[in-house]
Structure 1
């Protein structure tokens, strides 16, 4: 996306993978719940699926309302507040509520071919880092060096990189690798 001045701006989008995992945890905890009768489990799972559909289509506030309503209904049951489902539903609606500004219409983005997850980038980073950190590599990275490199890359990508930040990283790296620091370890 570009501004009227022609400056490229990226909007932060909440990763769909992490949202889906929170919904999956909530849905999985329905199965093990002792406070819900087996015949009622399908209705509760369906309600969770409907809330997930709302988030997928960019309706996070409606999803939170639906999850809170389900939670309030289940709260009337004895022992529910001690169940895994109770904690997973609360984590889910707090997560969606607190990240409402970063929710988008994931369905529309998916159909337009836009990214909805950072899993491809995460996988590439994991591959490069694990390869460079392997003990059999001639030019292996140290833990501290990899950490500093990651901080520099993030700062560059976020357009927060500065000479002052680089000087701070260098100072930290030198202090961590001094002979006295190595002897203490």
Structure 2
């Protein structure tokens, strides 16, 4: 197999997956897997065999999760988030500050979990409603909305 052709095919597969077209991506993946399983002239190298194995695993993953793969292109065009990197970054930042062993006041896993629940409620704008439910008569003078 020509490495440039394989790279081009993988780029096409990535494009189809990005746009939620798992049917076409799987069609190309299956063809690529077959090309690696049926060497024409010689036995495949260790690198080619390893790549073929990983390609087969990837193909199996896409087959098993094809109904879960979103159309990121459509999400992007609609202004919707295409990753959870912002939320993951916030979690990493909050947790890593207090969960490291060298920290003087280290959090317990339960304490970190509770903090993340509160932080999520604040970001979603639900914390004031929770307080109003817990404490009847609770009012907020000026509700502040937080950007995610």
Deviation at 1:43, TM superposition (A): 0.8
Q: TM-score, normalised by structure 2?
A: 0.65
The answer on whether the counterparts of 1:54 and 1:62 sit within 8 Å (CA) in structure 2 is yes
1:55-90 deviation line (CA, Å, top 9, x unaligned): 111101210111111110121112368722112211
For 1:73 and 1:115, the matched residues in 2 are separated by: 36
Deviation at 1:101, TM superposition (A): 1.4
1:89 and 2:74 equivalent?
no
SS of aligned partner of 2:25: helix
Query: How do residues 6-45 of structure 1 correspond to structure 2 at under 5 angstroms?
Result: 36=1, 40-45=2-7
SS of aligned partner of 2:7: helix
> 2:74 maps to what in 1?
108
For 2:25 and 2:104, the matched residues in 1 are separated by: 49
- Ranges in structure 1 where 5+ consecutive residues have no aligned partner: 1-35, 158-185
Deviation at 1:137, TM superposition (A): 4.1
For 1:49 and 1:86, the matched residues in 2 are separated by: 17
For 1:93 and 1:115, the matched residues in 2 are separated by: 26
Pairing partner for 2:44 from 79, 96, 111? 79
For 1:129 and 1:141, the matched residues in 2 are separated by: 8
For 2:79 and 2:18, the matched residues in 1 are separated by: 15
Pairing partner for 1:51 from 13, 16, 32? 13
SS of aligned partner of 2:75: helix
Deviation at 1:141, TM superposition (A): 0.7
- Ranges in structure 2 where 5+ consecutive residues have no aligned partner: 122-148
1:63 and 2:28 equivalent?
no
1:23-51 deviation line (CA, Å, top 9, x unaligned): xxxxxxxxxxxxx4xxx111111011111
* Aligned pairs, number: 113
If asked which structure has higher relative contact order (CA below 8 Å, sep 6+), I would say 1
Aligned-residue Cα RMSD (Å) equals: 2.6
Q: TM-score, normalised by structure 1?
A: 0.53
Deviation at 1:118, TM superposition (A): 1.3
